[in-house]
Amino acid sequence: MTWVGVDGGGTRSRALAVDAQGRELAAVEGPAGLVDPRNPVAAVAVVAELVRRVAKAAGAALPLDGLWAGLAGAGRDRPRRAVKAALAGAGLARRIGIGTDVEAARADAFGEGPGILLVAGTGSVVLAVDPGGTRVTVGGWGSVLDDEGSGYRIGLEGLQAVVRSADGRVPETALTHAIAQQTGVSAPTDLVGWVARATKKEVAALAPTVAQTAATGDAAAARVVHRALNGLREMLNAALARTGEWSGPPPLALSGGLVQEGRALHQPVAAIGSELGCRIHPGPVVPERGAARKALQAGRT
């Protein structure tokens, strides 16, 4: 008997197969698996390929006993239903559940219990569930409207700092050389073409470079990181203000390529959480593991 959990984000997707006791059987990784609301079923091909690969690695035949996929952009009813119907039609599993990648991460950190999850990767969002069951979401509006403190926003603002410096609108910045090296351009003027071709993943991948440059004392990079941290602080503060009473310090888990343990902004964001009265959740958050747990749980109900 085999169950699979999938975590599909804006940068990459991962799938994990487990047995009836929740023991890990196999894991695979693939390309981004976010749901485009204009064409929600496009994500199905990524998920289906991941499921077939992880099933083969686990020695399991299709259909599996259960599948739960947490996909960025699957928070609204219409795209979620469309993706679920398409996956059901692919014959991948007898029971299929669809949610968001944030729900998968929260399931790994807290299960069904209370807690606050702050995600800062390609995008950003805070999801809180208080002891009374009140559920609060802050952020998650996407790169055009929001995504404060996200890798995409930090990368984009790093690029903007470079072109402003090239104009003489702001002083010279070490970001010019650092970003040129990472993008392979020879001059700031070449960034116009680069960013027009770049994916969200490629822009977000600049964020660690911006953070590293800020750590050297570069003023322009430091301003970008300062704005990002302020944005994440505002999101967390808003979530705390909208939740009910906690019996003690609210547990806060950090997930995503910028803030998970060992990543560029983990320490400053953990410090912000502590300043706001939270208790930092120990250990890494593994969204595909949370998705696999949700697949198992659905099979037991």
The domain locations on the chain are 3-99, 113-283
Which carries the bigger pLDDT value, residue 48 or residue 283?
48
Residue 277, pLDDT above cutoff 80: yes
Alpha helix (H) residue ranges in the chain: 42-58, 77-89, 101-110, 151-167, 175-183, 191-197, 200-204, 207-215, 219-242, 266-275, 287-300
pLDDT bucket at 126, cuts 50 / 70 / 90: very high
Question: How many degrees, rounded to 5, is the angle at CA 31 between CA 211 and CA 142?
Answer: 55
pLDDT of residue 37: 79
113-283 CATH choice from 3.40.1160.10, 3.40.50.300, 3.30.70.1710, 3.30.420.40: 3.30.420.40
Q: How far apart are CA 137 and CA 42, in angstroms?
A: 26
CATH number of 3-99: 3.30.420.40
Q: How confident is the model at residue 301 (pLDDT cuts 50, 70, 90)?
A: low
Model pTM score: 0.91
Taking each helix axis as running N to C, give the angle between helix 101-110 and helix 287-300, from 0 to 180 degrees, rounded to the nearest 10. 80
In the predicted structure, residue 9 carries a pLDDT above the cut 70: yes
Q: Pairing state of beta strands 24-30 and 13-18?
A: antiparallel
- Which is more confidently placed, 103 or 34? 103
State how far the Cα of 236 lies from the Cα of 247, in Å rounded to an integer. 18
Q: Is the predicted pLDDT of residue 27 greater than 80, yes or no?
A: yes
pLDDT of residue 67: 97
Identify any residues that bridge with 295 across adjacent strands, giving them in sequence order: none
Q: In this predicted structure, what is the pLDDT of residue 33?
A: 83
CA 41 to chain centroid, in Å, comes to 20
pLDDT value at position 79? 86
10, pLDDT greater than 90: no
**Cα 102 from Cα 195, distance rounded (Å):** 27
